Amino acid sequence: MKVAVCVNHVPDTETKIKVGPDALTIDRTGVNFMLSPYDEIAVEEGLRIRDKWKGDVVVLSLGGDSHKETLRKALAMGADRAVLLKDDTVRDSFAVAAALAEELKRLAPDLILFGKQSIDYDDAQVGTLVAEMLGLPSVAVVVKMEIQDGTVTCEREIEGGHEVVETRLPAVFLAQKGLNEPRYPSLKGIMAAKSKPIEEKPAAAAEIRVQTIALRKPPAKNPGRIIGTDKAAVPELIRLLHEEAKII
């Protein structure tokens, strides 16, 4: 089983976002970047599939040199090799997907994994765009997957429940929290990752379809208000919800 996992390098979740001087991107000063959490789940799933069915796991990322750090983390977890599609420009999801699809066409994996969304732009479209570009089936927001005889049965999260979805391979899967518990890289894994190959090549050019014209902070909320310090405040809360907020 040839498995490919696409990963992104994103500001860690503790980051307090500041708008950069270009008013289009964030201020990266002092920001720690990491393997996007859903992508980490995708890597873990890829490793488990490889270990069960034999084969190899290649991780791909599109971006600048800093993305090597995230690729190294995936290699330390156990991935066999990595491909960095080098690009220092700002791309929209479509342009990212187009370049990934180009490389994946060449790699022709049996199974392609993504995180359900990258936690920077929260677009949740790259994985499904790639699937459509490659003419492959896809299952998004996957919390369970089982492979048997080239057929994959998944559970995917929808509003208020789960869908049981079946597809043939090759196909694309977008991992959601709950699919597995990603491993921590072992010391041995971290050492081994140093000698695993990261192939670097320029990302294929692609048009930008969605143009960002401004990045800004959301409007500030009113300062908080404490209405009481024990259960005696409950009637006042109910009154406010009824009369002021008009919710109940």
Partner 1 sequence: MKLLAFAEQRDQKIKKSSLETVRAARGLADQLGGECVALVVGSGIEGAAKELGNYGAARVIAVDQPDLARHSNMAFAKVITAIAVAEGAEIVLLAASQMGKDLAPRIAVKLGAGLAADCVSLTAQNGELIATRPVYAGKALVDVTIKTPTKIFTLRPNVFTATMFPGSAVVEKRTLPLEAGDFGAVVKDVKVSSGRPDVTEADIIVSGGRGLKGPENFRLIEELADVLGAAVGASRAVVDAGWRPHDEQVGQTGKTVSPTLYVACGISGAVQHLAGMSSSRYIVAVNKDKDAPIFQLADYGIVGDVLEILPELTGQLKKALGK
User: How is 21-81 classified by DSSP, letter by letter?
Assistant: TTSSSB--TT--EEE-HHHHHHHHHHHHHHHHH--EEEEEEEESTTHHHHHHHHHHHT-SE
> Does residue 183 interact with partner 1 by CB under 8 A?
no
Kindly indicate which of the ranges 77-85, 105-113, 150-158, 183-191 contains the residues binding partner 1, using the contact rule CB under 8 A. 150-158
> Does residue 147 interact with partner 1 by CB under 8 A?
no
Least Cβ distance, residue 204 to partner 1 (angstroms): 16
Kindly indicate which of the ranges 1-9, 54-62, 70-78, 127-135 contains the residues binding partner 1, using the contact rule CB under 8 A. 127-135
Residue 47's Cβ-count burial label (10 Å; 0-12, 13-18, 19+) is: buried
Cα 211 to Cα 170: distance, rounded to the nearest angstrom: 32
> Does residue 165 interact with partner 1 by CB under 8 A?
yes
Q: For partner 1, how many residues bind (rule: CB under 8 A)?
A: 85
> Under a CB-based contact definition with an 8 Å cutoff, are residues 11 and 150 in contact?
no
> Does residue 11 interact with partner 1 by CB under 8 A?
yes
> Does residue 225 interact with partner 1 by CB under 8 A?
yes
> Does residue 214 interact with partner 1 by CB under 8 A?
yes
> Does residue 169 interact with partner 1 by CB under 8 A?
no
Identity of the residue, 19 or 190, whose beta carbon is nearer to partner 1 in the bound complex = 19
Cα 174 to Cα 163: distance, rounded to the nearest angstrom: 14
Within residues 17-46, the interface with partner 1 by CB under 8 A covers: 17, 19, 26, 37-38
Kindly indicate which of the ranges 62-70, 80-88, 103-111, 148-156 contains the residues binding partner 1, using the contact rule CB under 8 A. 148-156
- In this chain, which of 107, 108, 205, 238 binds partner 1, going by CB under 8 A? 238
Within residues 60-89, the interface with partner 1 by CB under 8 A covers: none
Least Cβ distance, residue 131 to partner 1 (angstroms): 8
Between strands 198-202 and 33-35, the pairing is: unpaired
Kindly indicate which of the ranges 72-80, 81-89, 189-197, 226-234 contains the residues binding partner 1, using the contact rule CB under 8 A. 226-234
Residue 41's Cβ-count burial label (10 Å; 0-12, 13-18, 19+) is: buried
- In this chain, which of 61, 70, 128, 180 binds partner 1, going by CB under 8 A? 128
> Under a CB-based contact definition with an 8 Å cutoff, are residues 189 and 77 in contact?
yes
Residues 6 or more apart whose Cβ sits within 8 Å of residue 30? none
Within residues 100-119, the interface with partner 1 by CB under 8 A covers: 119
Residues 6 or more apart whose Cβ sits within 8 Å of residue 163? 155, 156
Residue 19's Cβ-count burial label (10 Å; 0-12, 13-18, 19+) is: middle
